[in-house]
Structure 1
Amino acid sequence: MTDSWATFGADLHIEPHGGGLRSGLMEALREAVRTGRLTPGTRLPSSRTLAADLGVARNTVADAYAELVAEGWLTARQGSGTRVAPRSVPRRADPAAPPSPAVRSGPVHNLKPGSPDLAAFPRAEWLKASRRALTAAPNEAFGYGDPRGRVELRAVLAEYLARARGVYAAPERIVICAGFVHGLMLLAKVLRARRVRETAVESYGLDAHRNLLREAGLRTPCLPLDGLGSRTGELAGMRGVGAVLMTPAHQFPTGVPLHPDRRAAAVDWARSTAGLILEDDYDGEFRYDRQPVGALQGLDPERVVYLGTASKSLAPGLRLAWMVLPRELVTEVGRAKGEFDWTPGAPDQLTLAEFIASGAYDRHVRSMRLRYRRRRDQLVAALAERAPDIRVGGIAAGLHAVLELPEGTERAVIQAAAWQGLALEGLARFRHRDAPPGRDALVIGYGSPPDSAWAGALDALCRVLP
């Protein structure tokens, strides 16, 4: 067979220049090493391979390599090939550049909400599921595929969500997304195409979600919130609103579940106005005082878009989330997503499908539920002993708690914590810009630290509380 550059090993982009092939090749290699494009230890192609790539005689490359070895630019050892020699090149100071400021290290402890214990990711079980899934995967699974996601995952999710969250789902009404934000982006495009101009949001929530909706051209009036959850009865008076984004099972960040009467009021509003409820079920599996509150979507699957994610139950780095759509939205979301929008990789989708179908997902959730409940109980006990004046709320579910502070102390506590290497978030951080000032409080993410750091993080928290 005719030799071709495509049939050999390592590639090297090099352009000989100057007089003569050998000297031009040598100067090009020196320049590549001098500028750092070829770093110390980099293995170069064999003389035969590079000669074929450049269309020159093999002896020309071999002679160039030998000369550069003699000069100290390269090294050559039997069985190890030709490599760039180790060199110590002093960095040139840029006289125009200001001196680099000292880099501050990150916090020692992190109690910000929004993340699970990443150290608890079930690596061994995930690897087993991945092996089984890839072994059984059809060849077409590695093609471009259905923009809605792999049918294996959509079918398994339909069964799981019906069983565990009370969601009415069918595989053809599920769309797999690269995270919750991706799903919200698609829904924002659909709402704009429907000429919706306002999407109500809860008066406390993530500003990233509010900003995303605003960037899509939607106004985001805030829905007031109290001890029974969002005051959904007020939706009827918000005339321009065509949709509402809510966290009904465990309001983020206050931790309040939406009262049954208010759940019904939200659905009544959606039915009477042809509005849509966007249900963010971000941590619905983690409830400790009784069975998890069922999804709001179960009350009316044609008026509620259910959004779920593996970010809290497994890990946000998986970038796996899903939407269960009303029938009338399936085509519109598909159109918004298009053929080339983000979709998580098929191997990860197939692995999650196998992970759920095998029962490993249920086992993991139950295990983490016990772990997080134990941490919650330790938090409550420590506060009762060392900060008895601090009231704790939002602890019936989820991975965070709300600690009530004396009026006017929230910012000072956060600053004191930062000085001690403890990262905290205050409740004010999540308030809608149009919502009135609320109480002083901390939102403590007790799910974030690994087990080895939990005791230290808890101790640091108690030291900074007033």
Structure 2
Amino acid sequence: MADSGTSFGPEILLSLSPQADAPLWVQLESALRDAVRSGHLAPGQRLPASRVLAADLGVSRRLVVDVYEQLTAEGYLTARPGSGTWVSDLATQADSGRAAADRPETHAPRWDMRPGVPSLAHFPRRQWRRVWLSALSGAGDADLGYPHAGGDPRLREAVAAYLTRTRGVAATAESTLICAGFTQGLDLLCRTLRARGATTVALEDPGLPHRAPVIRRAGLTPLPIPVDADGLVVDALPDRGVDAVLTTPAHQFPTGAVLAPHRREALLAWAGRRGAVVLEDDYDGEFRFDRRAIGALQGLAPDCVIYLGSTSKTLAPALRLGWLVTPSAFVEALITEKFLADHGTAALEQLALAEMITSGAYDRHIRQSRTRYKLQREALEAAVRRHHLPLRLTGVPAGVQTLATLPKGLDSDSLVRRAAAMGIAFDSVTRYQLAPDRPARSLVIGYGNITPHGIDQAMAALARIMKAGPTA
């Protein structure tokens, strides 16, 4: 048995047993989690450095680092750059309310496998603090006035250069506009299209559930178009009555399909015949693992494709920073809509992101994230095999989620509910369908905001749930 009294650094007592059935990382994770829940580790308590705890317990430092990262993702711990790992101030508060059935939405799942969520624990806090403070100290008096509704020229130039270099977008500073994330970008586009006489926007089905309400709110009609293994079914687009189509060609959400070359050609030909606009949502184009990512559709036809992107997957959704690259005919109208919406995006955050991009720190973070998500995707594939789960992962290996199909006789909606009761959070495909199929036989599983060890634990628990039968 390995005991830790932590010979150097904060003193905590932990015991691990190599003879136990549970792996050492499971034992350590459970011991720390229980210590936080019980109050033996109080909010604000500093933990030993990973190398110190690893030495005391006789385990690898990597094991301790992975456990710390998992408990940070779950909200039990918090990492303070340059200062170590601490018990979260909210940890025991959140845990004390776990039995309150009337407030289940306030509690983080034990295993967060919700799709579309990046690794929140790996937000580059130190780099962001550095560039934000640099932006603050370097900002002139004029920079502290009302921001330009189209975005700060320095960020517009930096984003345009980045997208041209990495995604093959035909972008200039003048054609690139800054907004508060994808959702606001879509809203601004829909309002601009409606003012130009548009009535209908086609969109992929399945797809993100908030897109149709945004389209309706702008006075337009959403028209669902099916998706198959080659992406958007272009032949299903009507020849008349559709003014724009919203698509995710690099990595369809949630099926993981890539828009095939013949479909790309057909879609642009359709838009040219119709005089329609293609709205390209490139939400995670940087994260392709098996090969270099497909370039943006916009680069092939910048006069009829409007490109949308954001930092929600590359950095964190909380930043609310996004961009549009648009034909010149839309620029002034979009700037007007943005001004009426919020008078412009916060200036210091724009300046910070501009410096992060131009300094190379943004590229470095994306490369590190790509490696991390590749390993987590591989961990999911391995866990599915190891625990003999009847799941078939579909789509290309990319992004932070995958579609997993179930065999006949299993209903994904029921499985999601049963898994949630055990602390595993993922989705049924029905959440993303405008016209849900019955019975539903696909899960949408995220692997971005969970460690490889956490993935294995979650899949082991899911295997037990599925083995227990549909009525368990």
Under a length normalisation based on structure 1, what TM-score does the superposition of the two structures give?
0.75
Deviation by residue 1:179-225 (Cα, 9 ceiling, x = unmatched):
11111111111111111111001111112111110122211111121
CA-CA distance at 1:388 after TM superposition: 5.0
Structure 1 residue 280 corresponds to structure 2 residue 298: no
- Is the contact made by 1:188 and 1:216 (CA closer than 8 Å) also made in structure 2? yes
Return the letter of the residue paired with 2:110: V
Q: Which secondary structure does the structure 2 equivalent of 1:256 belong to?
A: coil
CA-CA distance at 1:269 after TM superposition: 1.2
Alpha-carbon RMSD across the aligned residues, in angstroms, is 1.9
CA-CA distance at 1:397 after TM superposition: 0.9
CA 1:200 to 1:233, structure 2 compared with 1: closer, same or farther past 3 Å? Answer: same
Taking the TM superposition and a 5 Å limit, the aligned residue runs for 1:311-330 are 311-330=312-331
**Farther-moved stretch of structure 1 (295-304 vs 438-447):** 438-447
Return the letter of the residue paired with 2:336: R
Rounded to whole Å, the distance in 1 between the matches of 2:102 and 2:274 is: 57
Taking the TM superposition and a 5 Å limit, the aligned residue runs for 1:21-420 are 103-104=103-104, 105-235=107-237, 237-338=238-339, 341=342, 343-387=344-388, 389-407=390-408, 408-420=410-422
Structure 1 residue 456 corresponds to structure 2 residue 460: no
**Farther-moved stretch of structure 1 (363-372 vs 108-117):** 108-117
CA-CA distance at 1:449 after TM superposition: 2.3
- Is the contact made by 1:174 and 1:325 (CA closer than 8 Å) also made in structure 2? yes
- Is the contact made by 1:109 and 1:457 (CA closer than 8 Å) also made in structure 2? yes
CA-CA distance at 1:459 after TM superposition: 3.3
Rounded to whole Å, the distance in 2 between the matches of 1:459 and 1:146 is: 51
- Is the contact made by 1:428 and 1:438 (CA closer than 8 Å) also made in structure 2? no
CA 1:274 to 1:412, structure 2 compared with 1: closer, same or farther past 3 Å? Answer: same
Return the letter of the residue paired with 1:298: G
CA-CA distance at 1:343 after TM superposition: 2.9
Q: Which secondary structure does the structure 1 equivalent of 2:174 belong to?
A: helix
CA-CA distance at 1:138 after TM superposition: 2.3
Deviation by residue 1:268-301 (Cα, 9 ceiling, x = unmatched):
1111111000100000000001001111101100
Q: Where does the alignment leave 5 or more consecutive residues of structure 2 unmatched?
A: 1-99, 468-472
Rounded to whole Å, the distance in 2 between the matches of 1:430 and 1:238 is: 26
Rounded to whole Å, the distance in 2 between the matches of 1:438 and 1:234 is: 24
Larger radius of gyration: 1
Work out the percentage of aligned pairs sharing the same amino acid: 42
Return the letter of the residue paired with 1:334: I
Deviation by residue 1:366-416 (Cα, 9 ceiling, x = unmatched):
001111100110110111121253211124211101111123421221122
Rounded to whole Å, the distance in 2 between the matches of 1:318 and 1:142 is: 19
Rounded to whole Å, the distance in 2 between the matches of 1:281 and 1:101 is: 38
Rounded to whole Å, the distance in 2 between the matches of 1:220 and 1:227 is: 22
Rounded to whole Å, the distance in 2 between the matches of 1:461 and 1:101 is: 22
- Is the contact made by 1:177 and 1:323 (CA closer than 8 Å) also made in structure 2? yes
CA 1:451 to 1:385, structure 2 compared with 1: closer, same or farther past 3 Å? Answer: closer
Return the letter of the residue paired with 2:320: R
Return the letter of the residue paired with 2:251: H
- Is the contact made by 2:254 and 2:444 (CA closer than 8 Å) also made in structure 1? yes
- Is the contact made by 1:394 and 1:400 (CA closer than 8 Å) also made in structure 2? no
How many residues were matched structurally? Answer: 365
- Is the contact made by 2:179 and 2:338 (CA closer than 8 Å) also made in structure 1? no
CA-CA distance at 1:450 after TM superposition: 5.2
Deviation by residue 1:68-99 (Cα, 9 ceiling, x = unmatched):
xxxxxxxxxxxxxxxxxxxxxxxxxxxxxxxx
Q: Which secondary structure does the structure 2 equivalent of 1:251 belong to?
A: coil
Return the letter of the residue paired with 2:298: Q
CA 1:437 to 1:167, structure 2 compared with 1: closer, same or farther past 3 Å? Answer: farther
Rounded to whole Å, the distance in 2 between the matches of 1:212 and 1:107 is: 28
CA-CA distance at 1:342 after TM superposition: 5.2
Rounded to whole Å, the distance in 2 between the matches of 1:228 and 1:127 is: 42
CA-CA distance at 1:164 after TM superposition: 0.3
CA 1:332 to 1:102, structure 2 compared with 1: closer, same or farther past 3 Å? Answer: closer
- Is the contact made by 2:246 and 2:279 (CA closer than 8 Å) also made in structure 1? yes
Rounded to whole Å, the distance in 1 between the matches of 2:420 and 2:380 is: 20
CA 1:391 to 1:450, structure 2 compared with 1: closer, same or farther past 3 Å? Answer: closer
Aligned twin of 1:15: none
Aligned twin of 1:443: 444
- Is the contact made by 2:276 and 2:304 (CA closer than 8 Å) also made in structure 1? yes
Return the letter of the residue paired with 1:242: D
CA 1:278 to 1:425, structure 2 compared with 1: closer, same or farther past 3 Å? Answer: same
